[in-house]
Amino acid sequence: MNWRTTLWLIGSALVATLFVIVVERPARLSRDHAMAAHRVLPEFQPASAFALQVQTTNGTVRLTRTNGLWEIQDTPRRVAQQALAEELLRRLSQVQDRSILSTSELRSRPQAAADFGLNPPNTTVTFETTTGRIELLLGLRSLNGSQVYCQITGIPGIFAAESELLDHLPRSAEGWRDTTLLPLDRLNFDRLRVVSPGGAFALYRNATNGLWQMVEPRPARADSVRVGVLLRQLGLLQVARFLSTTTTPPAEVAGLRPPQLHLTLSRGSNEVYSIALGAALTNATAPSIYAQRPGEPDLLAVPAEAQDLLRVSYKDLLDRRLVRFDRSAVREVGFTGPESFQLTWKNDAWQLSPANVRADNQLVERLFNHLAMLEMIDIAKEVVTDLDLATYGLAPPAVRIALRTQPGDTHSFLAQLETGALRDNRNFARVPGEQPVYLVNPGDLDEFPKHAWELRDRSLWHFDSTQVASLTARHDGLEWTLRHQGTNDWAVPPGVRNEINSFALDEALHRLGNTRIIAWRGLGAARAAGLGVGKGPEITLEFRGQPTEPPLKLRFGKPAPGGGRYASITLTDGSEPVFELQASVFDDVWRDSGMAAQAPAAPQ
């Protein structure tokens, strides 16, 4: 792009901006003002209305708005459809000042109002606002039915409004009633209770964190997401019909005395909503049941789904995760089981004790994530005593995990978990301080470490190829030693004619020096032998410049199923961890050292 094109684009953008500011925006504002000026009621604001009355040949309905809520003035007072009332007000405010007849034509035709169905009117809509009273008369429709003729008392003229204004009006008083079964948007509650012949459960929402807690039949953590989904599903249900008591069976026959199910919402000890659900309707087009709200004499026909949703077992609403904790507050994790050890946050790193070695950050994070997501399958027993624990392998537990906020402080628990030994292919667990024993998936418990070495840092070594003084490879009785004379310069043993690709070998050693172990597979010579270590190749690296630096001796075994290769190393403390190493790292060093051409193939 050259500078002329750039200047042309900048100029075009400036011209477009000036056009919007100087021409388009004033024109739009002018159009808006013009439209407002051509409305019959240019000063009318729908929000200013506080009363509404609709009079038709079927009767009169009066609505009042209190605290932003439209209600039908009846005995008892009933909530009206809010959107219906607001839409009627909005449409009234949009009626245009386009009179069908001029003032002179109206004077010359005294029967004009009757000709357009306005004397008497088919429908009269009266609004009371903070500035006065507005009366709208609705008459006949136009020939094509798209408009309806109307008059506004006190304003000369017969106007044509969109027919939706008339279509929007319910045909009966019942049509104004709010059909929302559970109006969550206007209910302020923090308690929910469901009672059925099989029992009851109750939930409480914590005001601080917004989480739901089970309080009946026993205190427990609830699954706030599942409770929220249940409430949203109930909130979507609509009343199918409002049934007069004169046409419905007695409450006993309708299954409402006593009710088959009862829902109560409350704020503290104050009930804010309740509904009783009963038997199924026999003549409904869709599966429906009888329902009744207190203080309302008539019955409701509501979707049978309401009863299906509330018949949920309290267990299904429990938080299935066994432990909850603030990850950022954990400073120590204590493990008691086949081996007792601690994981402690120290000097901005996780340390394993009593071995006093560095832990692997990724493995520690994986441990926390798995612990946070561990779920129960079912509740094995609701309330257990100390005598019951042995039945579930929990006296004593096979493994105990304790999360603490202060290292060494046995009273600063964030969370605790106890798990039992595998019995009949089942594992049980409990959370100290909670009453039940839980059934858990044995595979989930296998993910937790039983030994400290399972969390050890997987960076066992780190070096650069320039630090390597020699490489010795051994396999099947053969030994092959290369001397590192300098960068990309390796000397083969005397009398051997094999040529070494020094550049490739340096690169292979560089990869080995910076690699991380894929996974730990065990500890000790027996475990190593079981994975073919000892029968496979060995690679020993000696380092220059640091006489005290011990050689790195890697012993390799069979290939691992996941594409790695098993190996082991003897550490300075005498332990022999067994691990899985990336196969290509071994293959490159073995090939580029020239040993592959001297010895049999590595075991497969």
What crossing angle do the helices spanning 583-592 and 502-513 adopt, rounded to 10°?
Answer: 150
Looking at per-residue pLDDT, the higher value among 100 and 484 belongs to 484
pLDDT at 442: 93
**Mean predicted confidence (pLDDT) in 321-338:** 93
Q: Would you say the C-alpha torsion 405, 406, 408, 411 has a positive or negative sign?
A: negative
Domain shared by 451 and 552, yes or no: no
- Residue that terminates a domain, selected from 150, 176, 202: 176
Please report, for the domain that includes residue 569, its CATH number: 2.60.40
The answer to whether residue 567 sits within a structural domain is: yes
Same-domain check for residues 349 and 427 = yes
Residue 531 pLDDT > 60: yes
Mean pLDDT (whole number) for 194-201: 91
Residue 573, exposed/middle/buried by CB under 10 A (0-12, 13-18, 19+)? Answer: exposed
In a domain, 41, yes or no: no
Same structural domain, 313 and 333: no
Last residue of a domain, one of 418, 436, 455: 455
Query: How confident is the model over 354-358, as a mean pLDDT?
Result: 90
**What is the rounded average pLDDT of the residues 585-595?**
88
Cα–Cα–Cα angle for 383, 192, 372, rounded to 5 degrees: 55
Residues 266 and 348 in one domain: no
Counted domains in the chain: 5
**Would you state the pLDDT for residue 70?**
93
Which residues, 6 or more positions from 347, have their beta carbon under 8 angstroms from its beta carbon? none
Closest CA to 471 of 593, 597, 601, 596: 593
Looking at the fold, whether 199 and 148 belong to one and the same domain comes out as no
Domain that holds residue 55: 46-176
pLDDT at residue 34 tops 70: no
With a cut of 60, say whether residue 327 has pLDDT above it: yes
Domain shared by 332 and 313, yes or no: no
User: Nearest 5°: phi and psi at 348?
Assistant: 60, 30
Residue 36 has pLDDT above 60, yes or no: no
Tens-place pLDDT, residues 534-565: 888 999 999 987 655 688 999 999 999 988 99
Flag whether 36 is in a domain: no
Whether residue 599 has pLDDT greater than 60: no
| Residue corresponding to tokens 């292919």 | 425
Q: What percentage of the chain exceeds 90 in pLDDT? A: 58
Give the end of a domain, one of 176, 208, 234. Answer: 176
Question: Which tops the pLDDT comparison, 458 or 597?
Answer: 458
Coil, strand, or helix at residue 30? helix
CB 61 within 8 A of CB 21: no
Least confident of 1-10, 141-150, 255-264: 1-10
Considering the domain architecture, whether residues 171 and 239 belong to the same structural domain is answered as no
pLDDT (mean) for 279-300: 89
Least confident of 68-72, 293-297, 439-443: 293-297
Residue 29 has what pLDDT?
A: 42
Looking at residue 17, its pLDDT comes to 67
3-class state of residue 24 by DSSP = helix
**Is the link from the previous residue into 297 a cis peptide, with omega within 30 of 0?**
no
Q: How far apart are CA 137 and CA 128, in angstroms?
A: 15
User: Can you give the pLDDT at residue 593?
Assistant: 86
User: Residue 247 has what pLDDT?
Assistant: 79
Examine residue 322 and state whether it is found in any structural domain, yes or no: no
Residues 88-107 pLDDT 10s: 999 888 888 778 887 778 78
In a domain, 40, yes or no: no
Asked whether residue 412 falls in the same domain as residue 527, the answer is: no
What pLDDT does 30 receive? 44
Note the pLDDT of residue 504: 93
Higher-confidence residue of 77 and 464: namely 464
Kindly give, in sequence order, each residue whose CB lies less than 8 Å from that of residue 440, ignoring residues fewer than 6 positions away: 322, 374, 375, 376, 377, 419, 427, 428, 429
309 with 333, same domain: the answer is: no
User: Who's near 368: CB < 8 A, 6+ residues apart?
Assistant: 327, 330
Pair (18, 142) in one structural domain: no
pLDDT digits (tens, 9 = 90+) for 173-190: 888 999 999 999 889 999
Domain-embedded: residue 516: yes
53-57, 121-125, 487-491, 595-599: range with lowest mean pLDDT: 595-599
Is residue 603 situated within a structural domain?
A: no
* Residue 18 vs residue 131, higher pLDDT: 131
Structural domain includes residue 98:
yes
- What b/e sequence results for 112-122 when a residue is b if at least 16 CB atoms lie within 10 Å of its CB, and e otherwise? bbeebbbeebb
Confidence of residue 33 (pLDDT cuts 50, 70, 90): very low
Beta bridge partners of 124: 55, 137
The answer to whether residue 302 scores a pLDDT higher than 60 is yes
Residues 366 and 400 in one domain: yes
Same domain? 109 vs 21: no
